[in-house]
């Protein structure tokens, strides 16, 4: 067996989670109409969830061909996974995006978008607040001209 390819940190756990998720989808599909009829509202979803379950099992089995990652233990693996795929920069940007989406409705679209653009550009560039403000204002002007004036699109 070729064991040259190494498993990514967290890949095994993710594959197991996919199987659990598929089982959950299978349960929800069954709840629609059970096995009442071959032509019921739940018949096709049941078939699709079976495909999900089988393919997730195949994904899990495929991992046997790969060698284990270097990390030892769950905590080390989690730390390594977080550091690789969710470093501080990603987490802060995601937090800014979530706050932005939460603020749109009560702080208005233009104000929250301006604040989001300035905050994220300043954070990603490590400073230069004034130029970030100018860029954000310029982008907002383009959005206003394009979406509100030209295309009359409803903005949040």
Partner 1 sequence: MSETISYLLMAWTDPNLLLLTALGTFAGIYIGAIPGLSVTMAASILVSFTFSWDVNNALALIVGIYIGGVYGGSRSAILLNIPGAPSSIATAFDGYPLALQGEAGRAIGLSTVMSVIGGLVGVLVLACAAPVIGDLALRFAPRDYFLVAGIGLLLVGSLCQGSLAKGIFAAALGAIIGMVGMDPVTAQGRFTLGQVELMGGIHYVVLMIGLFGVAEAIYQLHNLDSTPIRQKVDKIIPSLAMVLKFLPLSIRTSVIGVLVGVLPGVGGDIAALMAYDHAKRSVKNPTQPFGKGAYEGLIAAESANSAAVGGAYVPMLTLGMPGDAVTAVIVGALVVHGLNPGPMLMVDNPHIFWFTVGNLALANVFLLILGMMGIKLFAKLVEIPKAVLIPLIMVLCVVGTYSINSSMTEVYWMLGFGLLGYLLKIFGFQMGPIVLGAILGPLMDTSYRQAMSSAGDNPVELLNELVSSPLSLILSTALILILLSNTPLFSWLKQKIRQSA
Q: Are 100 and 37 in contact (CB under 8 A)?
A: no
Q: Sign of torsion, CA 75 76 82 87?
A: positive
Q: Are 152 and 133 in contact (CB under 8 A)?
A: no
Rounded least distance, CB 76 to partner 1, Å:
18
Cα gap 36→135, rounded to integer Å:
59
Note whether 90 binds partner 1 by CB under 8 A.
yes
Tokens, residue 131 = 């130029």
Strands (E), the chain: none
Q: Which of 97, 111, 134, 141 binds partner 1 (CB under 8 A)?
A: 97
Note whether 25 binds partner 1 by CB under 8 A.
yes
Radius of gyration of the CA atoms of the chain, in A: 24
Note whether 77 binds partner 1 by CB under 8 A.
no
Q: Report how many residues bind partner 1 under the rule CB under 8 A.
A: 55
Residues that bind partner 1 in the complex, under the rule CB under 8 A: 8, 10-11, 14, 18, 25, 28, 32-33, 37-39, 41-45, 48-49, 51-52, 55-56, 58-59, 62, 85, 89-90, 93-94, 97-98, 100-101, 104-105, 113, 116-117, 120-121, 124-125, 135, 139, 143, 146-147, 151-156
């Amino acid at each position: 067996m070729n064991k040259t390819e190494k498993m990514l940190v967290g890949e095994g756990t993710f594959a197991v989670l996919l199987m659990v998720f598929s089982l959950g989808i299978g349960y929800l599909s069954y709840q629609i109409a059970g096995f009442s009829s071959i032509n019921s509202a739940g018949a096709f979803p049941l078939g699709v969830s079976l495909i999900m379950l089988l393919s997730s099992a195949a994904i899990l089995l495929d991992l046997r061909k790969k060698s284990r990652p270097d990390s030892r233990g769950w905590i080390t693996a989690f730390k390594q996974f977080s550091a690789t795929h969710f470093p501080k920069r990603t987490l802060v940007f995601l937090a800014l995006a979530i706050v932005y989406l939460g603020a749109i409705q009560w702080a208005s679209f233009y104000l929250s978008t301006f604040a989001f653009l300035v905050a994220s550009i300043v954070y990603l560039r490590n400073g230069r607040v004034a130029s970030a403000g100018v860029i954000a204002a310029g982008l907002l002007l383009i959005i206003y001209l394009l979406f509100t004036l030209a295309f009359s699109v409803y903005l949040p």
